[in-house]
Amino acid sequence: MARSSPTGEIMPFTVAIVGRPNVGKSTLFNRLAGRRLAIVHDTPGVTRDWRRATGSIGALTFEIMDTAGLDDVDDHVLEGRMRDQTLQAISRATVVLFVIDARAGVTPMDEHFAQIVRESGKPVVLVGNKCEGNRTHLGLTEAYSLGLGDPLALSAEHGEGLVELAEALAPYQSDVEEQGPSAVAQDETPAPDVSPEIHLTIVGRPNVGKSTLLNRLIGEERVLTGPEAGITRDSIDVEWEVEGQRIVLTDTAGQRRRARIGDGLEKLAVADAKRSVDFSEVVLLVLDATEGLDKQDLTIARRTVEEGRALLVALNKWDLPDDREAARRQVADRLERSLPQVRGLPVVTISALTGDGIRKLLPAVRDVHARWNFRVPTAALNRWLAEATEKHPPPAVSGRRIKLRYATQAKARPPTFVIFCSRPEDLPSSYERYLAHDLREHFDLVGVPVRLVMRKGENPYAKKRA
């Protein structure tokens, strides 16, 4: 399972962290990653999909996978589907960290899943977590009965025992170096040159089909789906390459109205989804075509625009409405009225379940991403400014007309423009909105937020008079 870069440089080996629920897998994942990536909560079964990150202990670097807690249940229930996700992660790993709760000792569930891990044929490092201080825990002694070798005493919460863990993992780095480039896994062949990455975050209310859409796009059951609302909790990043384009897809938890958010766990999941939007480039808002545009959808869209992200709308479950034209018109009209700051927002009709319309998504994502990165030449920008002020001159305040002298683009991502004028503090907000709307239409910047900054221009004669 070793990987190498196109230059022959050896990439980190992969470690899957597994065990029954609530033994501290996500806490260990965050400790090794060096930052809080996975949601940690006292509720068992918080983690549902496996997620990957780069981990390290000192000079030792590797890829880590956090997984759902293993449960001995029927395959068709949610916990059974979670277990299947964990087994998928084990199959991709170089080595497995099998974690038990040293304070609770070895349970029948630990024994059952230790057998599953042994049958996988993967090398295993046995970890007894929650070993704070120098106390001796009965669970460490009992762990020998699992037949997975000598257990390591560890405290993921306090960072104790990491040196010993690094020593246990170091041989797998050595194995990677000895195998060299020939050890590249078949499904991890170095990719050819592709376009720069686009970070695409999928957001929406619960049960609109976000996870189903991600699985449809990448062509595999990477994240859990099902009829239960609120399955996704952690934001899951998945790398996807298609038609020469590399995209980092992020699946997020469904976001309900604030008044309906219940326990602290749901609040953590929604906060994680909002952070994903902050770090994205394009945000895909998924709507249920049978329900139309809800007030909460507008809340999510407005926050996306306020954060300066490019926005795209996917009208999912398009195979279900009886009157498609009415459904499309209702969404388009509501967007036009409620989101004038991104007028002309692209709407793509799809069915994540059947795959209809999916081919239209990538061109739409590329298009809105290009607009988000767009730069306007200064000469063209000032020609537009002259035309805009001629069509609709700035107002006169206290008998003196405000003069707009010069415009320049300060940055892209999102497009941000500075206009120098005589008295920016007196320019009405309605005129600023007119300029932003006219600029967006003139340069075809639909679907992306446009920011205007009014700045006072220097008076070239001020120093001479002084």
Residues 391-437 pLDDT 10s = 999 988 887 888 999 999 999 999 999 999 988 898 999 999 999 99
Least confident of 34-48, 187-201, 411-425, 446-460: 34-48
* Residue range 352-364, pLDDT digits in tens: 999 999 999 999 9
* Residue range 93-150, pLDDT digits in tens: 899 999 998 888 888 888 888 888 888 889 999 999 988 866 556 778 888 888 888 8
Tell me, yes or no, whether 273 and 416 share the same domain.
no
Q: What CATH number does the domain containing 384 carry? A: 3.30.300.20
Tell me, yes or no, whether 297 and 435 share the same domain.
no
End-of-domain residue from the set 169, 188, 207: 188
Tell me, yes or no, whether 150 and 16 share the same domain.
yes
End-of-domain residue from the set 130, 163, 188: 188
Tell me, yes or no, whether 28 and 140 share the same domain.
yes
End-of-domain residue from the set 188, 212, 244: 188
pTM higher than 0.75? no
DSSP 3-state assignment of 153? Answer: strand
Which residue, among 16, 49, 17, 52, has the nearest Cα to 269 in the 3D structure?
A: 49
Tell me, yes or no, whether 140 and 206 share the same domain.
no
Tell me, yes or no, whether 84 and 11 share the same domain.
yes
Determine phi and psi for 127, rounding to 5 degrees: -125, 125
CA dist 29 and 35 (Å) reads 9
CB-based burial of residue 412 (10 Å sphere; 0-12 exposed, 13-18 middle, 19+ buried)? middle
**pLDDT at residue 191, rounded to an integer:** 43
CA dist 450 and 417 (Å) reads 8
Q: What CATH number does the domain containing 143 carry? A: 3.40.50.300
**pLDDT at residue 415, rounded to an integer:** 93
- Residues 242, 325: contact at Cβ < 8 Å? no
Instruction: Dump the DSSP string for 205-267.
Output: STTSSHHHHHHHHHTS--S---SSTT---S-EEEEEEETTEEEEEEE------GGG--SHHHH
Look at residue 264 and tell me whether its pLDDT is greater than 80: no
Tell me, yes or no, whether 58 and 159 share the same domain.
yes
Tell me, yes or no, whether 131 and 216 share the same domain.
no
Domain of 438, in residue numbers: 378-465
Tell me, yes or no, whether 326 and 253 share the same domain.
yes
Tell me, yes or no, whether 384 and 339 share the same domain.
no
Tell me, yes or no, whether 307 and 431 share the same domain.
no
Give the pLDDT band (50/70/90) at residue 74: low
How many domains is the chain built from?
3
**pLDDT at residue 93, rounded to an integer:** 87
CA dist 148 and 91 (Å) reads 18
Cis peptide before 123 (omega within 30 of 0): no
- Residues 206, 254: contact at Cβ < 8 Å? yes
Tell me, yes or no, whether 16 and 109 share the same domain.
yes
* Residue range 208-226, pLDDT digits in tens: 988 899 889 988 877 766 5
Give the pLDDT band (50/70/90) at residue 50: low
* Residue range 166-225, pLDDT digits in tens: 999 999 886 655 555 444 444 444 444 445 689 999 999 988 988 899 889 988 877 766
Higher pLDDT, 235 or 404: 404
